Amino acid sequence: MRHHPSLLLAGLLAATGIPSLVAAERPNILYILCDDLGYGDLGVTYQNQRAAQKDRAIPFFTTPRIDTLARDGVMLEQHYCGAPVCAPSRASFLTGLTQGHANVRDNQFDKALADTLTVGSVLGQAGYATAAIGKWGLQGGAEKADGPARPSQWQAYPTKRGFGYYFGYVRHRDGHFHYPKEDGREVWENDREVSKDLDLCFTTDLFTARAKAWITDHARKDPDQPFFLYLAYDTPHAVLHNPPCAYPEGGGLNGGLQWLGKPHAMINSANGTKDGWMHPDYAAATWDHDHKASTPEKPWPEAQKRYANNVRRIDDAVGDLLQLLADLKIDDNTLVVFTSDNGPSQESYLKAPYNPNFFRGFGPFDGIKRDTLEGGMREPTLVRWPRAIPAGKVDPTPSGQWDWLATFADAAGVPVPAATDGVSLLPSLTGKGQRRPGLLYSEYAVGGRTPDYPEFAKPHRKRKRGQMQVVFADGYKGLRYNVKSADDDFEIFDLKKDPKETRNLAKKPGFAALQATLKARALQSRMPDSSAPRPYDEALVPGLAQEPKSAAGLTCAWHAGEFPWLPDFRTLEPEKRSTVPELSLPAGLPVTPFGLSFEGYFHAKEDGPYTFRTRSDGETMLFVHDCRVIHGRENGSIRLKAGWHPVRFLYRHSSGSPALSITVQPPHGEPVALGGALVRTLPSS
């Protein structure tokens, strides 16, 4: 018998102690991710400022439909991607993990996304219909010698990572081209390859039309079930193809792009000529290239025209989607997020490259795709949810793509998973409640150098990238390029006063303590991954600067209820809180579903590796600082400096007899229980 999702959710929320939500109060969620769209590539973030200068030497384009999201909602002024290239960035969004914990790092295109909670699986278990449409690139599994791989051979195919429906490009490389049939690229719809039917289907149009059809079908078949749609465009990235024809008139239910579903005529814009149509605003666009009004203006370079044309197509598509939500009368309670995966790119796949400094797609910053400077990592991010988010708001609070899993779980009324590094952004988006402090961390390694653009500060031009690292602390950004060791100094920037990162404060008086904090925080926020080695992987994680003034034991909080996953218990109110001498099952617990969280400090007596081993009947997780040492396994190791280290241990018991124990093995000696003189409680507030 099929149970209605809203009934399943009501039971879940009752069990977890969360106030039950009426189905209509939970928002639909539409997350729109562009590919290589820079912070400065929207009207509202930067292009409108260029237009306002009324200077023919300053070319610009506009995005009026996308800009309405800022008018009607919130612009996140300082929102970061996971890493400045697509695969790790998308992995951080989907899993809610920073690059300190995500399993896809650096240029690991087509690597299998870890089999853990994703935004799709969390919302699916919360009763949502889930779909992913567009570019994936995280499927895993090598191509077979006897023919191309299929979904059954891709271990991280979208339908195996929480999405009930998938339509799009599976392979990363396919997303470089935007006419699937004509370019010989595969498009998969669940377990069926459908490119043979997609004559003249430009991917921005194709993915938009399919998204509109999926939303419409779902709204008509099951209007009481909320949906989550991850719409991942592959534009304006790579080949700067033009669409085949003008965008269809109108928008929404009866206009704009329409899914026809007929082989060789799948969508209503599949007519004209491949790469054949340029918007008239750009076809004959010129600019004052030499800053001399007396000389004739030059046409925009071909690649720049094409880029503006691609962004204009996305703008039309977003307006079309917003009109559809209005036509279906679900716009008031649909949470729409529009953003990008990394900074603007130089790629065009034409004879001449695209130069993002023509429109300053990096906005008021320095850096592009593959840079951990602000221009490579700060993303144009707009959020609209009329029922809950005030209109016309600008949120300056730093945040990251890994925060969306927690945010969407919060919006869906289910516990925030402990498996995410993110925090819910709802308090700052809605203006209700207090947002918890978030973690801002990234690492990335790549060859090459930052472009030698005259718009960039001289220290940034032609700068060697190599191993790069970003960490925030005390309101400052720490940045390292070409990292050689954990002892390398960070450059320190106050981004509010210096968004171009031109004034390095590291050598200024009074910043020595912050330098030490940044170096410590960088090691306290990550776990090494052998597939992406770093020069600081073997460094010892430093402990607290001062010994904690607290009593022996650990703070233990008991939470009653059956949880769908191990929650971040810090976001829930416990039934009971007590102090226990060691990390083990406290006496007197009821034999019913419950969760426990232990917090305190662990004393490492000497430098070296410490191995923690747990034995339990349920799911566990161990954090040392923000390092996730145990996650989905029974043991984990971390290299610690001698001293005191904050620890947090989580346990979920579902049925049967509860069982829990944990030991720690020091660098020299036998394993011992995590208790006694090794632990101290949190200081009393």
DSSP one-letter string for 44-94? IIIIHHHHHT--TTS-----HHHHHHHHHSEEETTEE-SSSSHHHHHHHHH
Q: What is the pLDDT of residues 190-222, one digit of tens each?
A: 999 999 999 999 999 999 999 999 999 999 999
- pTM here is 0.95
Q: Residue 3: pLDDT above 80?
A: no
Q: Residues 123, 130: contact at Cβ < 8 Å?
A: yes
pLDDT at residue number 6: 42
Percent of the chain past pLDDT 70, that is, above it, reads 95
Bigger pLDDT: 655 vs 298: 298
Largest CA distance in the chain: 88
The stretch 451-467 carries a mean pLDDT of 98
Band of residue 141 on the pLDDT scale cut at 50, 70, 90:
confident
Q: Residue 661: pLDDT above 50?
A: yes
Band of residue 133 on the pLDDT scale cut at 50, 70, 90:
very high
Q: Residue 74: pLDDT above 70?
A: yes
Residues linked to residue 132 through DSSP beta bridges, in sequence order: 166, 230
Please provide the CATH number assigned to the domain covering 554-680.
2.60.120.1560
Segment among 137-146, 193-202, 465-474 with least mean pLDDT: 137-146
Quote the Cα angle for 32-37-41, to 5°: 110
Domain 554-680 in the same topology as domain 5-398: no
Distance between CA atoms of residues 653 and 445, nearest Å: 40
Pair of tokens at residue 629: 């040492």
Band of residue 410 on the pLDDT scale cut at 50, 70, 90:
very high
Q: Which residue has the tokens 């370079």?
A: 301
Q: Which backbone phi and psi does 220 adopt, to 5 degrees?
A: -80, -35
The stretch 603-610 carries a mean pLDDT of 98
* DSSP output for 560-578: ES--SS-B-GGGS--SEEE
Q: Residues 564, 121: contact at Cβ < 8 Å?
A: no
Q: Residue 72: pLDDT above 50?
A: yes
pLDDT at residue number 589: 82
* Helix, coil or strand: residue 166: strand
The angle that helices 64-72 and 302-327 make with each other, rounded to 10 degrees, is 50
Distance between CA atoms of residues 594 and 250, nearest Å: 53
Residues in the chain: 685
Overall fold of domain 442-450+457-523: Arylsulfatase, C-terminal domain (3.30.1120)
Pair of tokens at residue 489: 């100094």
Q: Which residue has the tokens 């309670």?
A: 333
> In the predicted model, what is the mean pLDDT of the chain?
94
Q: Residue 2: pLDDT above 50?
A: no
Q: Residue 139: pLDDT above 80?
A: yes
Q: Residue 542: pLDDT above 90?
A: yes
The stretch 82-87 carries a mean pLDDT of 98
Instruction: List all residues 6 or more positions away from 25 whose beta carbon is below 8 Å from its beta carbon.
Output: 333
Q: Residue 609: pLDDT above 90?
A: yes
Q: Residue 18: pLDDT above 60?
A: no
pLDDT at residue number 587: 86
Q: Residue 34: pLDDT above 50?
A: yes
Q: Residue 583: pLDDT above 90?
A: yes
CB neighbour burial string for 233-254, b if at least 16 within 10 angstroms, e if fewer? bbbbbbbbbbbbbebbeebbbe
Please report, for residues 98, 445, 462, 513, 602, the alpha-carbon distance to residue 481 in angstroms, rounded to integers and kept in the order given: 18, 9, 12, 21, 33
pLDDT at residue number 1: 29
Q: Which residue has the tokens 């590291």?
A: 506
Segment among 6-10, 464-468, 590-594 with least mean pLDDT: 6-10
Residues linked to residue 384 through DSSP beta bridges, in sequence order: 336
Band of residue 154 on the pLDDT scale cut at 50, 70, 90:
very high
Residues linked to residue 189 through DSSP beta bridges, in sequence order: 167, 192
> What are the start-end ranges of the H helices in 193-262?
203-221
DSSP 213: H
Q: What is the pLDDT of residues 337-357, one digit of tens each?
A: 999 999 999 988 988 889 999
* Helix, coil or strand: residue 37: coil
pLDDT at residue number 315: 98
Give the domain ranges of the chain.
5-398, 442-450+457-523, 554-680
The stretch 84-102 carries a mean pLDDT of 98
* DSSP output for 381-416: EEEE-TTTS-TTEEE-S-EEGGGHHHHHHHHHTSPP
Q: Residue 14: pLDDT above 50?
A: no
**Cis status, amide bond into 236, omega within 30 of 0:** yes
The stretch 300-324 carries a mean pLDDT of 98
Chain center to CA of 189: 24
Q: Residue 149: pLDDT above 50?
A: yes
Q: Residue 292: pLDDT above 60?
A: yes
Distance between CA atoms of residues 169 and 180, nearest Å: 9
Distance between CA atoms of residues 201 and 291, nearest Å: 40
pLDDT at residue number 143: 64
Distance between CA atoms of residues 370 and 446, nearest Å: 7
**164: closest CA among 5, 378, 303?**
5
Q: What is the pLDDT of residues 170-189, one digit of tens each?
A: 999 999 999 999 999 999 99
5-398 has CATH 3.40.30.10 classification: no
Quote the Cα angle for 193-194-200, to 5°: 140
pLDDT at residue number 352: 86
User: Which class for 10: exposed (0-12), middle (13-18), buried (19 or more C-beta within 10 A)?
Assistant: middle
